[in-house]
Copies of this chain bind each other. A is one copy, B any other.
Amino acid sequence: MAEKLPTRREDFSEWYNQVVVRAELADYGPSRGSMIVRPYGYALWENIQAYLDKGFRQHGVRNAYFPLLIPESFIHKEAEHVEGFAPHLAVVTHAGGRELEEKLIVRPTSETIVNDSVKKWVHSYRDLPVLLNMWNSVVRWEMRTKLFLRTSEFLWQEGHTSHTTFAEADVFALQMLGVYRDFAENAAAVPVIAGRKSEAEKFAGAHTTYTLEALMGDRRALQSCTSHNLADNFARGFGIQYLDRDNALQYVSQTSFGLSTRFVGAIIMVHGDDQGLVLPPRLAPTQAVIVPIWRKEGERAQVLAAAARLRDALASTLRVELDAREGLTPGFKFNAWELRGVPLRIELGPRDIEKNQVVFARRDTGEKSFAPQADAAAGARALLESIQANLYARAKKFMDDNTFRIDAWEEFKARTAGEGGAGLLLAHWCGKTACEKEIQEETQATLRVIPFDQAKEEGRCVKCGDRSEGRVVFAKAY
């Protein structure tokens, strides 16, 4: 803990790597690309899970579990799907001491194995919709590792739903994007741009991929989640048909949607500062930490007793911790909790006890304030709400300040020159994949999202000059 973090300006990437490990969110695993999520990081993930799970349930989605190992032939049943995933698969060839007749794939995503069952369960329109979700991990082989952002195995949820019509599936995919957006903005305080992916960037096997794009502190974009309208692409591959009200056989229309521990990376990179993590209060494993302060040994017992009473008074409405560790200075503890991003620090010393007060120190602004001990709980809750709102406002302003309308190709190239992030570039695009690829090759910027709420605006593609009907978002991205 003694060494200082690099500043974000000096080396954002190294700042990130050190924050993740030193705040004990995660650590590197032994095999390539693997990650250990430590208790502090996992508690954050559990809070993310709880918030999202409630959102899914409100739409009738129910949790289930499907096998980890998928027969290789399943992956081949949807042509685009196999093409997208084949290079990243981990393959079990031996089990129980023998070579397997059919290889098994460690699940990279579960569309295929879910569909193998849905086919057995769905016969009539009365069996629809089927609204399933899984919390699990998936394996997609990666050569480069970045904790939370790019690992060979990651934790996520994957939703899989089947519906009677294309329109119903489309509405549902958008509703799930709404669950994600509510989570991102209201729980994680991460502003996002909602829209759809281009053909080149959509999920392997999807008709349409909806997404939320966020901007990180180094001005790179990050895809926060995806929600896919799969149409009947997988249903045809797996032969999932139902009898409609007129007794005619129809293919089901499907969706899938996922959000992963990648989002933990977004929280770190959107809110963190040079002292370390800054966690949004609604997701923080510890919302407030009480640091007792004494100078003379004689004060110790009284201060610790008062601090324990304060913790007990707060514990029913807050996730609060008391740092009663011996042999560490208050200053050391302040730094440690700042590194871990706890939103609110509560200091309590002999003079505070005399005055019947506590000292609040906000993690986001560093501001200090005082409150009578009797009002500590209400005061802390109000401050946490204020911190939550401030984190969102701050991140939104940063995103707005780094969103640029670009009309000339030279300007586009200038903005994206150099190593760092380039913000969000709102530019006209002709709709052609070839043009999108050329932009990427020349600038490393990719088409992140075709936003829902762009004003219709006639224009000319920033690259080729062909006609365009609206701006899309390009960015250098994770």
Q: Which residues of A contact B (CB under 8 A)?
A: 27, 29-31, 34-39, 42-43, 45-46, 62-71, 74, 86-97, 102, 104, 106, 113, 116-117, 120, 132, 136-137, 139, 141-143, 152-153, 155
Contacts and interface: CB of A to CB of B under 8 A. Distances in A.
B43 A63 contact: yes
Contact of A90 (B35, B92, B113): B92
18 contacts: A27-B117, A29-B113, A30-B70, A30-B74, A30-B113, A34-B69, A36-B65, A36-B66, A36-B117, A42-B63, A45-B65, A65-B137, A69-B152, A69-B153, A86-B97, A90-B104, A92-B93, A106-B106
A172 to B, nearest CB: 17
Given A62-B43, A92-B92, A67 B120 contact: no
A442 B66 CA distance: 40
A34 B141 contact: no
A224 B283 CA distance: 35
A30 B74 CA distance: 10
Contacts of A94: 90-91, 93
A411 to B, nearest CB: 39
B64 A139 contact: no
Contacts of A97: 86-87, 89, 141
A87 B96 contact: yes
A116 B46 contact: no
Contacts of A89: 95-97
Contacts of A46: 63
Contacts of A92: 90-93, 106
A91 B86 contact: no
A90 B91 CA distance: 10
Contacts of A86: 97
A68 B153 contact: yes
Given A30-B74, A67-B153, A91-B93, 7 more contacts: A29-B66, A30-B71, A34-B69, A42-B62, A68-B153, A69-B139, A92-B106
What are the nearest 8 A-B pairs in CB distance? A96-B141, A39-B62, A34-B67, A37-B65, A90-B95, A91-B94, A29-B67, A95-B141
A42 B157 CA distance: 15
A247 B93 CA distance: 48
A169 B104 CA distance: 39
Contact of A65 (B68, B141, B155): B155
A20 to B, nearest CB: 14
Contact of A120 (B27, B35, B96, B136): B27
A346 to B, nearest CB: 23
B96 A35 contact: no
Contact of A93 (B35, B38, B69, B93): B93
A155 B64 CA distance: 11
Contact of A31 (B67, B88, B91): B67
A302 B92 CA distance: 59
A383 to B, nearest CB: 26
A110 to B, nearest CB: 11
Contacts of A91: 92-95
A31 B70 CA distance: 7
Contacts of A152: 69, 95
A260 to B, nearest CB: 12
A64 B36 contact: yes
A314 to B, nearest CB: 18
Max chain B Cβ within 10 angstroms of own Cβ: one of A69, A74, A89, A136: A69
A31 B66 contact: no
Given A36-B67, A62-B39, A88 B93 contact: no
A153 B74 CA distance: 19
Contacts of A43: 62-63
Contacts of A27: 117, 120
B90 A64 contact: no
Contacts of A153: 67-69
Given A27-B117, A93-B91, A120-B27, A137 B68 contact: yes
Nearest to A87: B97
Nearest to A39: B62
Contacts of A117: 27, 29, 36
Max chain B Cβ within 10 angstroms of own Cβ: one of A43, A92, A116: A92
Contacts of A31: 67, 69-71, 102, 104
